[in-house]
Amino acid sequence: MDKKNGQETAESCEKEKQEELINETNLQEETEDAETSADSCDNMTEDFDKLKKQFDELNDSYLRLMAEFDNYRKRTLKEKAELIKSGGESVLKNLLPVVDDFERALQNIRTAEDLKAISDGIELIYNKFISYLSQEGVKAIEAVGKPFDTEHFEAIATIPAPEENLKGKVIDCVQTGYLMHEKVIRHAKVVVGE
Protein backbone atom coordinates (compact mmCIF):
# COMPACT_ATOMS: atom_id res chain seq x y z
CA MET A 1 0.00 0.00 0.00
CA ASP A 2 2.85 2.26 0.55
CA LYS A 3 3.70 1.95 -3.04
CA LYS A 4 0.18 2.77 -3.97
CA ASN A 5 0.18 5.81 -1.71
CA GLY A 6 3.43 6.95 -3.16
CA GLN A 7 2.05 6.71 -6.66
CA GLU A 8 -1.07 8.58 -5.70
CA THR A 9 0.98 11.29 -4.08
CA ALA A 10 3.19 11.54 -7.14
CA GLU A 11 0.13 11.66 -9.37
CA SER A 12 -1.52 14.30 -7.24
CA CYS A 13 1.69 16.36 -7.28
CA GLU A 14 1.77 15.97 -11.04
CA LYS A 15 -1.85 17.11 -11.30
CA GLU A 16 -1.16 20.12 -9.10
CA LYS A 17 1.82 21.10 -11.26
CA GLN A 18 -0.33 20.77 -14.39
CA GLU A 19 -3.08 22.85 -12.82
CA GLU A 20 -0.56 25.51 -11.82
CA LEU A 21 0.77 25.53 -15.40
CA ILE A 22 -2.75 25.81 -16.74
CA ASN A 23 -3.52 28.59 -14.27
CA GLU A 24 -0.33 30.40 -15.23
CA THR A 25 -1.17 30.05 -18.91
CA ASN A 26 -4.70 31.28 -18.28
CA LEU A 27 -3.33 34.15 -16.24
CA GLN A 28 -0.95 35.09 -19.06
CA GLU A 29 -3.79 34.85 -21.58
CA GLU A 30 -6.02 36.97 -19.36
CA THR A 31 -3.24 39.53 -19.03
CA GLU A 32 -2.73 39.52 -22.78
CA ASP A 33 -6.50 39.74 -23.30
CA ALA A 34 -6.67 42.65 -20.86
CA GLU A 35 -3.82 44.41 -22.69
CA THR A 36 -5.50 43.72 -26.05
CA SER A 37 -8.79 44.92 -24.62
CA ALA A 38 -7.10 48.07 -23.33
CA ASP A 39 -5.47 48.64 -26.73
CA SER A 40 -8.80 48.02 -28.42
CA CYS A 41 -10.49 50.43 -26.04
CA ASP A 42 -7.82 53.04 -26.76
CA ASN A 43 -8.34 52.53 -30.52
CA MET A 44 -12.11 52.81 -30.09
CA THR A 45 -11.69 56.02 -28.11
CA GLU A 46 -9.44 57.43 -30.84
CA ASP A 47 -11.93 56.37 -33.53
CA PHE A 48 -14.78 57.89 -31.54
CA ASP A 49 -12.86 61.15 -31.14
CA LYS A 50 -12.13 61.24 -34.89
CA LEU A 51 -15.76 60.56 -35.74
CA LYS A 52 -16.97 63.17 -33.25
CA LYS A 53 -14.57 65.73 -34.72
CA GLN A 54 -15.73 64.87 -38.25
CA PHE A 55 -19.38 65.11 -37.13
CA ASP A 56 -18.75 68.52 -35.55
CA GLU A 57 -17.06 69.78 -38.74
CA LEU A 58 -19.91 68.52 -40.95
CA ASN A 59 -22.53 69.93 -38.61
CA ASP A 60 -20.77 73.31 -38.57
CA SER A 61 -20.53 73.26 -42.36
CA TYR A 62 -24.22 72.40 -42.62
CA LEU A 63 -25.24 75.22 -40.28
CA ARG A 64 -23.12 77.73 -42.21
CA LEU A 65 -24.63 76.55 -45.51
CA MET A 66 -28.15 76.90 -44.12
CA ALA A 67 -27.36 80.42 -42.90
CA GLU A 68 -25.90 81.38 -46.29
CA PHE A 69 -28.96 80.01 -48.07
CA ASP A 70 -31.30 81.88 -45.74
CA ASN A 71 -29.38 85.12 -46.38
CA TYR A 72 -29.52 84.47 -50.15
CA ARG A 73 -33.27 83.84 -49.99
CA LYS A 74 -33.89 87.04 -48.01
CA ARG A 75 -31.68 89.07 -50.36
CA THR A 76 -33.44 87.80 -53.50
CA LEU A 77 -36.88 88.43 -51.99
CA LYS A 78 -35.82 91.98 -51.18
CA GLU A 79 -34.46 92.50 -54.72
CA LYS A 80 -37.68 91.14 -56.25
CA ALA A 81 -39.77 93.44 -54.08
CA GLU A 82 -37.66 96.42 -55.18
CA LEU A 83 -37.97 95.41 -58.84
CA ILE A 84 -41.74 95.11 -58.55
CA LYS A 85 -41.96 98.41 -56.73
CA SER A 86 -39.79 100.34 -59.17
CA GLY A 87 -40.27 98.19 -62.29
CA GLY A 88 -42.81 100.52 -63.85
CA GLU A 89 -40.63 103.56 -63.24
CA SER A 90 -38.85 103.44 -66.61
CA VAL A 91 -42.12 102.88 -68.48
CA LEU A 92 -43.76 105.84 -66.80
CA LYS A 93 -40.66 107.99 -67.18
CA ASN A 94 -40.70 107.40 -70.95
CA LEU A 95 -44.40 108.32 -71.12
CA LEU A 96 -43.82 111.77 -69.62
CA PRO A 97 -42.82 113.36 -72.99
CA VAL A 98 -46.16 112.21 -74.43
CA VAL A 99 -47.96 113.85 -71.48
CA ASP A 100 -45.95 117.04 -72.14
CA ASP A 101 -47.08 116.96 -75.78
CA PHE A 102 -50.71 116.56 -74.69
CA GLU A 103 -50.39 119.52 -72.32
CA ARG A 104 -49.03 121.72 -75.13
CA ALA A 105 -51.82 120.52 -77.43
CA LEU A 106 -54.47 121.38 -74.81
CA GLN A 107 -53.02 124.89 -74.40
CA ASN A 108 -53.03 125.43 -78.17
CA ILE A 109 -56.56 124.06 -78.65
CA ARG A 110 -58.01 126.86 -76.54
CA THR A 111 -56.39 129.63 -78.60
CA ALA A 112 -56.00 128.02 -82.04
CA GLU A 113 -58.36 128.72 -84.88
CA ASP A 114 -56.93 126.28 -87.43
CA LEU A 115 -58.60 122.90 -86.83
CA LYS A 116 -56.33 121.19 -89.38
CA ALA A 117 -53.21 122.15 -87.36
CA ILE A 118 -54.81 120.86 -84.14
CA SER A 119 -55.77 117.60 -85.84
CA ASP A 120 -52.24 117.15 -87.21
CA GLY A 121 -50.75 117.86 -83.77
CA ILE A 122 -52.99 115.29 -82.06
CA GLU A 123 -52.13 112.75 -84.76
CA LEU A 124 -48.40 113.36 -84.19
CA ILE A 125 -48.84 112.76 -80.45
CA TYR A 126 -50.83 109.58 -81.16
CA ASN A 127 -48.12 108.28 -83.54
CA LYS A 128 -45.43 109.07 -80.95
CA PHE A 129 -47.37 107.14 -78.32
CA ILE A 130 -47.96 104.13 -80.61
CA SER A 131 -44.26 104.14 -81.53
CA TYR A 132 -43.34 104.04 -77.85
CA LEU A 133 -45.72 101.13 -77.25
CA SER A 134 -44.19 99.17 -80.13
CA GLN A 135 -40.72 99.75 -78.63
CA GLU A 136 -42.04 98.17 -75.42
CA GLY A 137 -43.34 95.14 -77.37
CA VAL A 138 -47.00 96.20 -77.40
CA LYS A 139 -48.92 96.01 -80.66
CA ALA A 140 -52.57 96.20 -81.65
CA ILE A 141 -54.46 93.04 -82.62
CA GLU A 142 -55.75 93.27 -86.16
CA ALA A 143 -59.36 92.22 -86.06
CA VAL A 144 -61.57 93.25 -88.99
CA GLY A 145 -61.84 90.53 -91.63
CA LYS A 146 -60.03 87.91 -89.52
CA PRO A 147 -61.63 84.60 -88.51
CA PHE A 148 -63.09 84.77 -84.99
CA ASP A 149 -60.61 83.39 -82.43
CA THR A 150 -61.47 83.27 -78.72
CA GLU A 151 -57.77 83.53 -77.84
CA HIS A 152 -57.61 87.10 -79.22
CA PHE A 153 -61.20 88.32 -79.52
CA GLU A 154 -64.19 88.80 -77.26
CA ALA A 155 -67.49 88.74 -79.16
CA ILE A 156 -69.88 91.38 -77.87
CA ALA A 157 -72.44 90.93 -80.64
CA THR A 158 -73.26 88.80 -83.67
CA ILE A 159 -75.02 90.07 -86.75
CA PRO A 160 -76.02 88.44 -90.01
CA ALA A 161 -73.03 88.49 -92.34
CA PRO A 162 -73.47 90.99 -95.21
CA GLU A 163 -71.58 88.61 -97.51
CA GLU A 164 -71.26 84.82 -97.47
CA ASN A 165 -67.45 84.90 -97.07
CA LEU A 166 -67.74 86.97 -93.83
CA LYS A 167 -69.54 84.23 -91.87
CA GLY A 168 -67.52 83.38 -88.73
CA LYS A 169 -65.28 86.40 -89.28
CA VAL A 170 -64.91 89.71 -87.46
CA ILE A 171 -67.02 92.39 -89.10
CA ASP A 172 -66.33 95.32 -86.78
CA CYS A 173 -63.96 96.09 -83.89
CA VAL A 174 -65.55 98.05 -81.04
CA GLN A 175 -62.43 98.17 -78.83
CA THR A 176 -58.89 97.43 -80.00
CA GLY A 177 -57.06 94.57 -78.31
CA TYR A 178 -53.34 94.50 -77.62
CA LEU A 179 -50.52 91.94 -77.47
CA MET A 180 -47.36 92.34 -75.43
CA HIS A 181 -44.59 90.05 -76.64
CA GLU A 182 -47.21 87.77 -78.25
CA LYS A 183 -49.27 87.56 -75.03
CA VAL A 184 -52.76 89.04 -75.03
CA ILE A 185 -52.94 91.88 -72.51
CA ARG A 186 -56.41 93.00 -73.66
CA HIS A 187 -58.83 91.08 -75.87
CA ALA A 188 -60.34 92.95 -78.82
CA LYS A 189 -64.10 93.48 -78.45
CA VAL A 190 -65.62 92.61 -81.80
CA VAL A 191 -68.82 92.04 -83.75
CA VAL A 192 -68.93 88.68 -85.52
CA GLY A 193 -70.86 87.76 -88.66
CA GLU A 194 -73.05 84.66 -88.59
31 or 110, which is more confident: 110
8, 46: one domain: yes
Q: Do 8 and 47 fall into the same domain?
A: yes
Q: Which of 66-80, 83-97, 111-125, 140-154 has the lowest mean pLDDT?
A: 83-97
- Residue after which a domain boundary falls, among 86, 116, 147: 86
Query: Does 98 lie in the same domain as 173?
Result: no
User: Coil, strand, or helix at residue 1?
Assistant: coil
Looking at the structure, do residues 119 and 180 belong to the same domain, yes or no?
no
**One domain, residues 5 and 48:** yes
If asked whether residues 51 and 3 sit together in one domain, one would say: yes
Torsion of CA 152, 158, 159, 161, to 10 degrees: 40
- What does the mean pLDDT of the chain come to? 84
Do both 78 and 95 map to the same domain?
A: no
Do 4 and 32 have their domain in common? yes
Instruction: Please determine, for residue 185, whether its predicted confidence score (pLDDT) is greater than 60.
Output: yes
The model's confidence at residue 19, banded by pLDDT at 50, 70 and 90, is confident
Q: Per-residue confidence at 18, pLDDT binned at 50, 70, 90?
A: confident
Last residue of a domain, one of 56, 86, 116: 86
CATH number at 142 reads 2.30.22.10
Identify the pLDDT of residue 106.
87
What global pTM score does this model have? 0.54
The 3-state secondary structure of 102-162, one letter per residue: HHHHHHHHHHCCCHHHHHHHHHHHHHHHHHHHHHCCEEECCCCCCECCCCCEEEEEEECCC
- Ranked by mean pLDDT, the top range of 14-18, 66-70, 103-107, 173-177 is 66-70
Q: Are residues 130 and 56 in the same domain?
A: no
Question: Any idea which of 47-56, 79-88, 129-138 has the lowest mean pLDDT?
Answer: 79-88
pLDDT tens by residue, 43-61 = 888 889 999 999 999 999 9
Nearest to 194 by CA among 162, 151, 146: 162
Q: What band does 83 get if pLDDT is binned at 50, 70 and 90?
A: confident
Q: Identify whether residues 58 and 98 lie together within a single domain.
A: no
Q: Do residues 103 and 147 both lie within one domain?
A: no
Proportion of the chain above pLDDT 90, given as a percent: 38
Residues 6+ apart with CB under 8 A from 168: 147, 148, 192, 193, 194
How many separate domains does the chain show? 3
Are 5 and 63 members of one domain?
yes
Q: Which domain holds residue 38?
A: 1-86
- Specify the 3-state DSSP secondary structure of 163: coil
123 pLDDT band (50/70/90 cuts)? very high
Q: Which helix (DSSP H) or strand (DSSP E) does residue 21 occupy?
A: helix 2-86
Q: Which residue has the higher pLDDT, 115 or 78?
A: 78
